[in-house]
A and B are shown apart, each in its own frame.
Chain A
Amino acid sequence: MSHAQTKLSLHHLQWLLVSLALILLLHAEHLPLWVILGSVSLGITRFFIEKNHWRLPKMLLLLPVTLLAGLGIGLTFHGLFGRDASLALLVIMLSLKLMETKTLRDYVLIIIAGYFLTANVFLFSQSILISSFSILPLVFLTATLIQISYRHSPLDWQFSLKLAGKLLLQAIPVMLILFILFPRIPGPLWGIPSDSYSGMTGLSDSLSFGNLNQLIKNGSIAFRVEFKGKLPQQQQLYWRGPVLWHQEGRHWRMRNLPENNSLPIENLTTTGEATHYIITLEPHNRTWLLMLDMPTYAPQDAKISHDYQVISQTPVRNRMRFEGVSYLQYQLGAHQTLSAREQTMALKIETNENPRTLALAQLWQTSKLSAVEKVNAALHKFRNEPFIYTLSPPILGDNPVDDFLFNTKKGFCEHYASSFVYLMRAAGVPARIVTGYQGGELNPNGNYMIVRQSDAHAWAEVWLQNQGWVRVDPTAAVSPDRIEQGISNALPEADELPFMIRPNNTWFSTLYLQWDAVNNGWNQWVLGYNEQKQLSVLSQLLGKHYRTSDIVFWLIATISTVMLITTYFLLRTTRKKQDALQKIYDLYLKKLKKIGITPSTTETATELATRVSLLHPTQQRLTDEIAETYNALRFGKHYESQYWDKLKRLIQEFSRK
């Protein structure tokens, strides 16, 4: 019986099933319920088959079940490809494979697939928690490998777990070397299926009444910022995102100008000191990078648009870390006149609705108010009339701006910003909406700032003669708390907000901030360890600048050296003594391999000869003689030259046949 065909016992099956159950647990949230239930019941069935010594199901039954399972995956995911579908397919097929798993070879196959499945979890999440949990299946899989390689009697479970842990610990130096030295490739090695990006949240390229509040209720992190030097004040933290020019009914959109027809960049004059900071942006599958008003520096592969959005060339699909330089005191386009095209774009509104707003604007126009006076009049209206800041505003009717400004008077930033811009444009003041984030929560544990989706905000910019584009935040007029203290303080208690951003529960939030500091470190040093960081770490470590090609060279050199040394130590004890006799005998073994007979190390020369003569009965005399002569030379007392010659002659004779 060949080694790989050895049948394994219930004990080994239990180990395998426990490991697979852990993998299933790891992936539970990414799998459809029926796949989980199916896998669990297959595992249980396999267990009872082994326990009661039943027969394994026949191919006739397995084949239709396998096809059905594949069909099920296809129907659930509308296809067999893509990240989620492939994972589910792999899981259910592996569970089915259990039904024909009985030999050592099958076990090894499932264990290796198990390692692969465990690693797959990183396609879904790379958080500390998931990474730590994934160690558990790894330990158990390794322990199962240990168990099955010791087939004669069950090993103590503690022993095998300890040994597995020890083996994995021994792998850590190698892992660290590879982590530090392995060349980083921008983006994943292979294309990740597109459904990986579903479910990323962030700002969109349009604004309409009621779409931002969904984002505000989302407590997840948008980005983290480390400031170099002094922290800006809370009311200065306007993180600039998409600038919306285009109004269509209740929607505001970005304007996508073709590359060759883009507007000239607005002239920025800055005063005061620059603010330097580093942003770690969570992936949001859009191209914009968030920067403080006003950015003067675009990271690599990104550019600053004419209205000072920072746009990356590719959508942000991996956590991205970039440096930002902004001036908080600035004038934008102060000494310019608005071009005719900009003028048209910044004034265009649909005038077939909202008659009351248009009438108000008309009144301001006829009373010959200056632009500044118009702005102040609008802010005065917000401030002095009973406007309320709330995330659950009433639904607006057919004339949404009218309805908001004169009837409901309840809304949040997007209501204020869009109505304000509409009003300004109607009154002949060029204006635009800027969306982004406002504020942020300082984490004292890591000295960095957390900006959440709930900090999403919208404000306005109006163009004033000699001052250029000036930021006006109508929300601040209604609810100064929103700007000065953040969203959680601005809302009435009754408004629903994500648990995480409620400020009560202080011990919990302290704990949370500490945990986030750990996460931030993980993001920066483990997940954010990119080519740039790698090069800088190596330069710091080795005190010299290195290029990627150097790293590749050193990596190959290191790995080869380590492997050579390990091989030497491994082989040193069992290395065959390469003496003259072995050299001659090896010719014979080589010839045997050619005709399909693989000599085993535990086989004696005589046994080998018997095996050969079973397959080639005509050669029996020759093979017997070879074995005898070899034994005499290897184990006998006298090394007579005639024996040497005889062996050589016999092997030559054998090789010829």
Chain B
Amino acid sequence: MQKTIQSIIAATSQVILGKEQQIKLALACILARGHLLIEDQPGMGKTTLAHTLAQVLGLAFRRVQFTNDLLPTDVLGVSVYDAHISQFQFHAGPIFTNVLLADEINRATPKTQSALLEAMEEQQVTLDGKTYPLPNPFFVIATQNPKQHIGTFPLPESQLDRFLMRIEIGYPDYQSERLLLQTQNSTISAKPLHPCIDAATLLQMQQQISEIHVSEPLLDYLQALIQYSRNTYAVGLSPRAGLALKQCAQAWAAIHGRDYATPEDIQTVLSSVVEHRLASPSGEGQAQQIATQMLQSVAIA
């Protein structure tokens, strides 16, 4: 599995230059069966990262550009009356895929956002009383511009909680940027990428990751972190967040070729997993400190 993962990372790194840490985090999120939220300024390569990952993992990929006039049916699909067979026929929307890139999710109205988020949680779509299961694997990579941008509807905390991780991409370093300027013409890569694995392998890997050993001392540490957040912040980490933290730590351990998770794994993913769940919508500057503060305050058992 280690080899496969390394090749996935290597392939993605050829497109997204100098962002290995972010690629690993995104991959860990997918391996932990979670939805990913990428948040950054426009033009930082959010869409490219999502697209590349889907290609490399050999998954069906659909993209929806969210706008403020996008309706729930535009994402989920619609039942249309077919005169030939005299009944309603369901036309599946773009959500029926493996990877859905929800571009600029915070531009859509809350109604559309919640339709998507419901589908994310339940892995199925219910329309006109009929339930349609979504393909497996299914996950959403949503991108969003920082909230202060004009014309956006910020996601409420309850919906942010559905995303396993939130990552930021950040500016490339000097060397990577130079390389980017030298080799690429536009943000979308011209070279077609060969998939490293297929959907079945991915499912198998996800299964293996859930079997990564999490020892008692590590669970002590995990619970101490959760407890600390509940004692310290207005809203603490939910049980779902605790579970997310564990899964991400397992995935991170797998990426590094270990069959057990360590405190470092938790510490590395902590910031991406907890900050969007704990930071209040107004406290933008505070979000960066939360993970640091937790790590500096909680002793490793």
Contacts and interface: CB of A to CB of B under 8 A. Distances in A.
B102 to A, nearest CB: 33
A631 B301 CA distance: 13
Nearest to A576: B301
Contact of B264 (A574, A602, A606, A637): A606
Contacts of B261: 635
B1 interface: no
B213 A607 contact: no
A634 B297 contact: no
Contacts of A576: 301
B289 interface: yes
A493 interface: no
A153 B289 CA distance: 11
Interface in B151-198: none
Interface in A615-654: 631-632, 634-637
Interface string A582-612: 0000000000000000000111111100000
Given A601-B300, A636-B213, A637-B213, A606 B293 contact: no
B294 to A, nearest CB: 9
B217 A634 contact: yes
Contacts of B263: 604-605, 635
Interface in B271-301: 286, 289, 293, 295-301
A604 B259 contact: no
A223 B131 CA distance: 95
Given A604-B263, A606-B264, A607-B264, A635 B300 contact: no
Interface in A379-431: none
B296 A602 contact: yes
A605 B267 CA distance: 12
A632 B299 contact: no
Given A152-B289, A152-B293, A604-B267, A637 B260 contact: yes
B215 A636 contact: yes
B260 A604 contact: no
B218 interface: yes
B262 interface: yes
Nearest to B217: A634
Contacts of A605: 262-263
Interface residues of B, number: 23
Nearest to A630: B262
Given A634-B215, A635-B218, A636-B215, A602 B299 contact: yes
Contacts of A602: 295-300
Contacts of A607: 264
A602 B214 CA distance: 19
Given A606-B264, A636-B259, A636-B260, A601 B217 contact: no
Interface string B246-266: 000000000000111111100
Interface in A427-470: none
A574 B300 CA distance: 10
Q: Which of A574, A601, A602 has the most CB of B within 10 A?
A: A602
A46 B69 CA distance: 56
A607 B295 CA distance: 12
Contacts of B217: 577, 634-635
A604 B298 contact: no
Given A632-B260, A635-B217, A604 B300 contact: yes
Interface residues of A, number: 18
Contacts of B213: 635-637
A604 B215 contact: no
Nearest to B211: A637
Nearest to B293: A152
A606 B213 CA distance: 19
A634 B262 CA distance: 9
Interface in A312-370: none
A607 B267 CA distance: 11
Contacts of B260: 631-632, 635-637
Contact of B299 (A574, A635, A636, A637): A574
Nearest to A1: B296
Contacts of A606: 262, 264
A21 to B, nearest CB: 30
A152 B294 CA distance: 11
B300 A637 contact: no
Nearest to B234: A153
Interface in B41-58: none
Q: Which of A605, A606, A637 has the most CB of B within 10 A?
A: A637
A574 B223 CA distance: 13
B287 to A, nearest CB: 12
Contacts of A637: 213, 215, 259-260
Contacts of B298: 602
Contacts of A153: 286
B199 to A, nearest CB: 29
A541 B275 CA distance: 59
Contacts of A601: 299-300
Contacts of B286: 153
B295 A635 contact: no
Contacts of A152: 289, 293
Interface string A173-193: 000000000000000000000
Nearest to A581: B217
Contacts of A577: 217, 301
A634 to B, nearest CB: 6
A612 to B, nearest CB: 15
A604 B299 CA distance: 9
Contacts of A631: 260, 262, 264
Interface string A138-164: 000000000000001100000000000
Interface in B193-252: 213-215, 217-218
A603 B262 contact: no
Contacts of B297: 602
Nearest to A579: B217
Contacts of A632: 260
Contacts of B264: 604, 606-607, 631
A371 to B, nearest CB: 91
Nearest to B220: A577
Nearest to B298: A602
Q: Which of B262, B286, B300 is packed against the most chain A CB atoms within 10 Å? A: B262
B284 to A, nearest CB: 14
A635 B215 contact: yes
Given A635-B213, A635-B215, A635-B217, A604 B262 contact: yes
Contacts of A604: 262-264, 267, 300
Nearest to A575: B301
A604 B263 CA distance: 6
A603 B300 contact: yes
Interface string A83-106: 000000000000000000000000
Contacts of A574: 299
A135 B187 CA distance: 68
Interface string B71-107: 0000000000000000000000000000000000000
B42 to A, nearest CB: 32
A606 B265 CA distance: 11
Interface string A192-214: 00000000000000000000000
A439 to B, nearest CB: 66
A625 to B, nearest CB: 15
B255 to A, nearest CB: 15
B69 to A, nearest CB: 40
A607 B296 CA distance: 13
13 contacts: A152-B289, A152-B293, A153-B286, A602-B298, A602-B299, A603-B300, A605-B262, A631-B260, A631-B264, A635-B217, A635-B261, A636-B260, A637-B215
Interface of B: 213-215, 217-218, 258-264, 267, 286, 289, 293, 295-301
Given A604-B267, A634-B215, 13 more contacts: A153-B286, A577-B217, A603-B300, A604-B264, A605-B263, A606-B262, A606-B264, A631-B260, A634-B217, A634-B262, A635-B213, A635-B261, A636-B260
Closest 8 CB pairs of A and B: A601-B299, A637-B213, A636-B260, A604-B263, A635-B215, A631-B262, A635-B262, A635-B260
